[in-house]
Structure 1
């Protein structure tokens, strides 16, 4: 009874009417809050991963929540020699060796690291490039859970919501149902391939949480502010529905550094630290910085289902590859295609295709269609292969490349491989990536 009374009093104190709002930078007579007051600059935690992933500091998460994914796993966490944390994500087209958490299916597996130490009020900052594809959310969050007391204390920044990389969620919770939540849309493209700093300042004296993107204050709240220390998570995972469909093979989130500065004179409830239990499964050596291909199964030796076909298709994966064991033969009037999401009108892309024709009357082409998430067509581009090409050599692979800009309204590409004449065409390798993202940060509405 005493414990219940104390809990009730604590919850009532959190519910005292206050305000939550978009940022106010002064000028209306209100006292301007100083977010730097009480920063404990003598006890800053900073990790730029130049020495890898320290098991004394970080736990690599290997677990699962919700039912429509296969968890976050050890194998998806790596680092480079220059100190970049690499968090791999495996989408619906993944066919590699990694397995999910308590599952043989490696699809929809994400990656995350967690501080072993439970952290109290302070400034939490992460400089990172988020996962650039629909289907998974990149996030930073604190977390503490106590099912006996009914506590679910959490502070989140979650990116890629509603199939829109300019929209994100900020949320903080004290129970599984009591929270403060805001959906924010900024003129900042979060999957632009650039590093951005994601930050929240958690205060308990006074109770307040401020959220920042690239040091721009985007949301403030004094409602339902947690008061229990929580371990700090950085990573990505595959939620149920609200981040879109992960129609990709593998892609990456990159973290440059993580920083935590505690606040003095901000009381909180201490909670139990975590601990690393599987240090032998941590990466022992750095990897090379991965360069991702937006095409799934680009050499045709991976998951065949990554290329969609009609029910009566005669397309075959054959042992005629040049740089790999397999190639795809697309007969006349047949088609294989796939979707590539996460596009934006600021992108410029290069598509490189290697193909061969075994007869002089064979022809084929690659069709790139620009679409919203629905079926409407915005624009299209074609790479044709025939004996009239200057590069053509009968029975040998040759390469063609186009560069194109994404048109407004485009969120998804449909890439189709089509045989058009004779016995069709053989494809050996396809490479698609963003080469230019000419986007400048727009700050005027927040300054």
Structure 2
């Protein structure tokens, strides 16, 4: 009985020993992978922190899985990111920010996938972790927010209790499900604007731990006027006593990222900016270059600069002045300078899986915030110099591959591009062992590819997809495995020779649908021309003689007119194929053609 009494009294003793009262708000549901966003303003008191994080409730430290955004009150220009894995192994990164996070609200986000964890500030990715430890972050985690004073003064600073109470404010939370290849890989599950305490979604914590000098209590998690307020208080004065909540934009916009993308410079600002100032070329100074034109994109926070020819060996800086945000205060940049990162130059050929570049192709990388391109997922497979691939014009491109890759990402200016994929089957000696789809910008462009079925093993198979539209300064390719693992040996990117979204100079609108493919037989390229009498959802499909769909080109809504493009069929097997034109899901034209080797 004495032992039972001690067990019952232990939490009460712990409660009494904690000098402060904090708060934690946590979901009832757990999540495995996803995107988690919060708009928040942190508390400005040294010796404590405000947080937004995911956490797996553990039975032992060997199960530890946690992903953090922690904002220490002692710093007015820094945020801490961290992943914690088995054995309480920390992977900490300190991110400097050009604003005071305690002064006004900012949007923060965590992206968690099997291949990486990334952190965003004001909708711009600022840091990414990859590496072996990411694969150990697979346990279901709850989403949490809390405010508490760490016992470690060397980390959090010294808490002056005369500065209490302290408050962290949360305006909204969004949770997205991880949906690779759809909705830019993340689909919104729900958003909470904190208009009321949703007891089917959230709970208020009542616990503590060693190293936390506060006890969490329900009274210190307050919902008021559409905000969640987490309070750090003395035990004798709990709850929110702060009066009206001030949600005003007092931070001037800043350039979050600057890239040379082909022959242009793309500037990503932290928030929406006013068009007139943004499109005034004289507001941008780049020593060594002339700014010819400035254009603000429809998102109202991305500016594209046209400049004079640059020296690729020089590191340039852009200086922005007189740029104002769209808030009532019209906060204005005074003078800001940022280095411009070198992006890609087209045409671009990437030898996937290879760390060595050459005069004709580029080495491959793992994608991160500092890379203009790279892969997510996959293992490098290197073949000996003696390996030969039937039909290959350059065996070197096929002597390395990325096997099991999930995504490939390339930063590009908005526009239309031609993509050429170089495939070879080097692992299997039978059909059906490896089959996968390829998506570009959430659109399926290659369906059910079985390389062995097409050309056998150790043979080159090339697929070219024209007129792929990029609308967010980044090409996103998703390789979806259907059997085995997806693989790719090389990727070529060039500007489209023609654009299916632009009508040709033909002055007339056709009276009826028509489709022409030539030459027939075709090799290595097939020319396409089709006519549409009206606008509508349009699709071009290709089928082999067995009726299996080989390729789908989904182009969205097209206006009535005449369109032309071309397709590389040099990697297709010899035989009879059918090109089908559909509009509004109804076949309007078809034509047979032959591919000859």
Q: Scaled by the length of structure 2, what TM-score is found?
A: 0.29
Of structures 1 and 2, the larger Rg is shown by: 2
| RCO comparison, higher one (Cα < 8 Å, 6+) | 1
Q: TM-score, normalised by structure 1?
A: 0.38
The structure richer in strand per residue is 2
